[in-house]
Amino acid sequence: MGTYPKEMQESIERVEATRPARLAAQPARLTLPEQEALLQGFHPDHRAEGKRKLRVGPSWGDPVPHELADLLEAYPLLDPGAVDVTKPDCDVDVLVVGGGGAGTVAALWAHRSGIPAERILIATKLRHGDSNSIMAQGGIQAADKPHDSPAIHYLDVLGGGHFTNDPRLVRALVEDAPEIIRWHEDLGVMYDKAPDGTMSTIHGGGTSRKRMHSAKDYTGLEILRVLRDEARSRGIPVLEFSPAVELLTDAHNQVVGAVLWNLETSEYTVVKAKATVLATGGWGRLHIQGFPTTNHYGATADGLVLAYRAGAKLRDLDAVQYHPTGAAYPDQLVGLLITEKVRGLDAQPLNRLGELFVHPLEPRDVESAAFIRECAPPEKGGRGLGVTTPTGMIGVWLDTPMVDMIHGKGTFQRALSSIYRMYVRFDIDPTKEPILVYPTLHYQNGGVVIDEHGWTGIAGLYAAGEVEGGVHGKNRLMGNSLLDYNVFGRRAGIAAAGWAKKAAPASPTLAHVERYVGELKAAGVPPTRRAPLLLPEYRGERALARMVDLL
C-alpha cells in the first residue's frame, strides 16, 4: 500500500532486505545478568525522579510513582456532611465494587456459594464489562498440556516477576488455572482449538512452555462477554455509572459496604454490605511518567485509594508495566495495544537499519527496556536507532509480514483480526508492511496485599484482579492477568460469601476516613488534592497530549 511517509519507507526497504536472513536464523535470549543490566539502564522504573516515598498510611515509606502518591496523599472527594451513612439506601450480603472481569467472576462465585442473586450487588463506574479485561488480546495461561505442569508454570511466573512474588499466591494461580479453563468451556467460551478439541497454544514472553490459550486476538472480549452473559442469566443486579467513592467501616474496623456516586445524577448511594469485594482494576489512566496507555478510560486507581484509607497495605507499586508494543504510528493509534501474540507468532522487533536487536519474547519489562535503549539518543546511553515519524514520535519496527511467511498466508487475518482491522482503517496492511511500536503503560504489577483467598487482612474486605498485588511481583507475564482475575475473583467471591454468612456488621461510619484526614493534615498535604480521581481529564489541549508528549 505504501502509505508510510518517504523517510519511513526507506527504513522499510532495509527491513525487507534483512528479512531472508532473519527468517533462516534463531534469535538468542539474554542471560539473567544481561536482563538486569538492561532494566537498570533503561526501564522507566529505574528513574529515581519518577517516584517518592509515601508520607502517610499503612505503607508509609514505600516508594510509588508521583502520580499515585498524589492520589494516596489526598483528601476525600466525598463531603461527609452531604450524606448520612447510618441510613443505607441498599443492604446486601456481598457488594462487588467494579464490573470488569474480577468483579463479575467474584459475583458469580459468591452466588454459587449460596448467596441469593438479589443479595449481591455489582456497582461499577461505567458499563458492566467496560474494563481492561475486555481489551486483553493475546491470551490466558494454564499448564494443561501433557509436557507442561503447574510447577513449570510456577517457575515461569516467579522468574518473570524477578522472584519478588508472593509464593502462596503464585501457587494458587497455577494450581487453579486448568480448572478455570474447564469452567470457561462449560460456560461456552470459544477458545482456539484443533478439530479434536485440543487447545491451540503458543508461547508468551518469558514462558518455557506453549501454554497461551487464546480466542483469536479478542481473548479478553470473548471471556468477559460470556461471564457477563452468565451473570445476566443468574439475575445478579448491576448498578452502572456508580463508582464507589469511599468504603464504610463499623466500630470494629470491619468494612461494611461503600458509598457510591451516581455519575449522571450526582447523588450518593449508601450500600451496606456484610462483605465487600474490591475489583476496581488498575492505574493506566494516571499516565505515569507521561506515557500513553493501553488502558480503559476508567483505570484510575480508585480501589487503591479507598482500600488504603481503610487500612489496607499496598505492595510492589514501584513497578509499572510498560507493554513493549504500543502502536507508535499513525497518530490516531498511539499507545494502543499490539498484542504480544504478534511476537508469539514470530514477528520480530527491528531497528531503523532492519536489525534484530533483542529476542522477541523476553519478559515484558526487559523487552520494553531494550526498545527504549534502541530509541534513546547516544548522549543518554542509547543506540539512537529508532524510527522517527513526521509528528516526532519514535519507535521500532515490528516485522508483521513474518507471521504469514512462517505460519502460512491468512494466519494474520485469522489469528490477529482486531489488529488487522485497526491498521487497515488507516490504509496500512500489516501482512505486507511492518508496523511501528514503542512501549506503552499497560499494567499495575502491584496493589493491595491479599492472602490466597483474596482477603486483605481487614475484616469484610476482599480484593481481586489488577487492584491486588503479590501475584506477579514486580513484573507480570503475558496471559497471567486474565488468569489472575479468574483465579482470585473466584477465590474472593467464595471467601466473601463465607464471611457474609457469619458476619455481624455494626452501624456504618466514615471513621476511618476521618482518621486518615487527620494523618493528611499532620503530614501537611495540600488541601486542594482530592481522590479518587474517577475519570481522567482530557478536555481541551489535553486531548492532544497523549499524541505528542512521549519523548
Partner 1 sequence: MNEVTVFIMGKGYRVPAGLTIMKAMEYAGYRLTRGCGCRGGYCGACATVYRLKGDYRLYADLACQTPVQDGMYIAQLPFTPAERPPYVLDELKPEGATLLALFPELARCVACNTCTKACPQKLEVMDAVQASLRGDIRQVAELTFDCVSCGLCTMRCPAEISHHHVWQLARRLNGAYLTPRAEHVQARVAEIAAGKFNGELDRLVRMTRDELVAAYKARQIEA
- For the residues of 69-100, what is the DSSP string, one character each? HHHHSSEESS-GGG--TTS-SEEEEEEEE--S
Q: Judged by CB, which is closer to partner 1: 96, or 126?
A: 126
Task: For residue 224, give the C-alpha cell.
Answer: 468477559
Give least dist CB 39 to partner 1, A.
15
Q: Judged by CB, which is closer to partner 1: 119, or 184?
A: 184
Q: Judged by CB, which is closer to partner 1: 189, or 402?
A: 189
Give least dist CB 119 to partner 1, A.
19
Does residue 323 carry a catalytic annotation? yes
What residues have CB less than 8 Å from 6, skipping those under 6 apart?
none
Catalytic residue among 111, 184, 203, 343: 343
In the block, residue with C-alpha cell 488541601: 527
Give least dist CB 149 to partner 1, A.
6
Radius of gyration from C-alpha coordinates of the chain? 23
8 Å CB contact between 411 and 417? no
Residue 313: CB atoms within 10 Å: 17
Distance separating alpha carbons of residues 102 and 58, to the nearest angstrom? 25
Q: Judged by CB, which is closer to partner 1: 128, or 309?
A: 128
Give least dist CB 545 to partner 1, A.
10
Does residue 512 carry a catalytic annotation? no
Task: For residue 262, give the C-alpha cell.
Answer: 451516581
In degrees and rounded to multiples of 5, residue 447 shows phi and psi of 160, -155
Q: Judged by CB, which is closer to partner 1: 352, or 476?
A: 476
Helix (H, G, I), strand (E, B) or coil at 365: helix
**For residue 33, with 0-12 CB atoms within 10 Å meaning exposed, 13-18 middle and 19 or more buried, which class applies?**
exposed
Give least dist CB 537 to partner 1, A.
8
8 Å CB contact between 231 and 104? yes
Helices 511-523 and 302-309: crossing angle in degrees, nearest 10, is: 100
Give least dist CB 520 to partner 1, A.
27
Q: Judged by CB, which is closer to partner 1: 23, or 151?
A: 151
HEC letters along 213-269? ECECECHHHHHHHHHHHHHHHCCCCEECCCCEEEEEECCCCCEEEEEEECCCCCCEE
Q: What is the DSSP pairing of strand 435-444 with strand 394-398?
A: antiparallel
Q: How far is CA 139 from CA 44, 110, 159, in A?
A: 26, 26, 19
Distance separating alpha carbons of residues 495 and 490, to the nearest angstrom? 9
Residue 484: CB atoms within 10 Å: 24
Give least dist CB 403 to partner 1, A.
18
Give least dist CB 440 to partner 1, A.
11
Distance separating alpha carbons of residues 10 and 3, to the nearest angstrom? 12
Residue 344: CB atoms within 10 Å: 25
Catalytic residue among 323, 352, 364, 490: 323
Distance separating alpha carbons of residues 194 and 15, to the nearest angstrom? 34
Query: Does the CA dihedral 175-458-100-476 come out positive or negative?
Result: negative
Give least dist CB 544 to partner 1, A.
7
Give least dist CB 320 to partner 1, A.
19
Calculated CA dihedral for residues 533, 536, 541, 547, nearest 10 degrees:
140
CA 149 from centroid of its chain's CA atoms: 25
For the annotated catalytic residues, the residue numbers are: 323, 343
